[in-house]
């Protein structure tokens, strides 16, 4: 019992800090906004595709349309919802 009284703050504080760090790390891992894993169909069939996976805008647009276009934008390529994807690509 004496050990608990003398070491409570030393080891208890460490445990609290450890838990806080682990909670923060877990929260950061879920904040990736570049990938959309909410649809298993898309991810299982062709993985999650981002604009960086394409060389040209035309290539990305063809892929986007082959995947169903704006109605089923599983890859979140059309962020502004105007029907044109990866507008920064050449």
Q: What are phi and psi of 53, to 5 degrees?
A: -80, -5
How many folded domains does the chain comprise? Answer: 2
Does the pTM surpass 0.75? The reply is no
Q: Identify the band that residue 31 occupies on the pLDDT scale cut at 50, 70 and 90.
A: very low
pLDDT for the residue 56? 96
Residue 11 in any domain: the answer is yes
Q: Strand, coil or helix: what is 18? A: helix
Residue 4 in any domain: the answer is yes
**58 in the same domain as 24:** no
pLDDT for the residue 47? 75
- From the CB of residue 57, how many other CB atoms can be counted at a distance below 10 Å? 17
Residue 45 in any domain: the answer is no
**57 in the same domain as 24:** no
Residue 14 in any domain: the answer is yes
- From the CB of residue 60, how many other CB atoms can be counted at a distance below 10 Å? 24
Residue 41 in any domain: the answer is no
pLDDT for the residue 3? 62
Of the candidates 26, 46, 50, the one whose C-alpha atom is nearest the C-alpha of residue 36 is 50
Residue range of the domain that includes 16: 1-29
pLDDT for the residue 86? 94
State yes or no: pLDDT of 40 exceeds 60: no
């Amino acid at each position: 019992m004496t050990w608990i009284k003398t070491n409570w703050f030393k080891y208890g504080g460490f445990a609290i800090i450890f838990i806080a760090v682990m909670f923060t790390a877990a929260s950061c891992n879920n904040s990736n906004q570049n990938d959309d894993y909410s649809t298993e169909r898309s991810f299982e069939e062709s993985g999650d595709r981002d604009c960086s996976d394409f060389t040209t805008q035309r290539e990305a647009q063809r892929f986007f349309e082959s995947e169903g276009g704006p109605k089923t934008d599983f890859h979140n390529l059309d962020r502004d919802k105007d029907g044109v994807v990866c507008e920064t690509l050449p």
